[in-house]
Amino acid sequence: MKNKPNKSIDFKQFFNLYGIRFLISLTFSIGLFLLIYFLNISGSYLVSALNAATINFILMLAICFFSIATRSGFFDIFAYSAIRFKAHLNPHSKEDQAFYGVYDYTKSKEIKRIDSKYFYLIYLSIAIIYLILTIILYVIYRINV
């Protein structure tokens, strides 16, 4: 019977990959929440907070879905086309700097995608936080109305 090797988790690398990005995304979403909240005073502070939380929930969910699409290589054809177009516009560029096809470009990106396997969970977790906040604010709103 073979023993499986213990996989040790490097928390410093984990925090560098996911923690910092989570903190930046959370700070951005809180700033956006406050901006929408203070610019959208529609008579009731509760309605403004509910609008801001809902917009942040939808935005973070959309970023999560785009992150999944990017991770799966959905936009690789557009990126490759932009690289080829840029190579044709620059007369001093060497032809061998560009990739030979979309397949080569996609294969070169797969190596970079190994580390970013679960980046979408960052945006999904922030979206869940805003979903919970939206539900709580809506319940409070319905009780007060």
Distance between CA atoms of residues 82 and 76, nearest Å: 10
118 within some domain: yes
pLDDT for position 71: 83
51 within some domain: yes
58 within some domain: yes
Structure token digits, residue 111: 């190596």
Residue with tokens 């785009």: 66
DSSP string spanning 1-48?
-PPPPPPPP-HHHHIIIIIHHHHHHHHHHHHHHHHHHHH---S-HHHH
pLDDT for position 44: 83
pLDDT for position 11: 73
8 within some domain: no
Tens-of-pLDDT digits for all 145 residues of the chain?
A: 555 555 666 777 777 778 888 999 999 999 999 999 989 876 788 989 999 999 999 999 999 999 888 888 788 888 878 877 877 787 776 654 556 777 777 777 777 777 677 788 899 999 999 999 999 999 999 998 7
Of 15, 32, 10, the C-alpha closest to 127 is 32
Owning domain of residue 22: 17-144
**Number of domains composing the chain:** 1
pLDDT for position 56: 95
Structure token digits, residue 82: 């932009």
Distance between CA atoms of residues 76 and 74, nearest Å: 6
123 within some domain: yes
32 within some domain: yes
Distance between CA atoms of residues 19 and 7, nearest Å: 20
End-to-end CA, the chain: 66
Residue with tokens 């935005």: 59
23 within some domain: yes
Distance between CA atoms of residues 34 and 46, nearest Å: 13
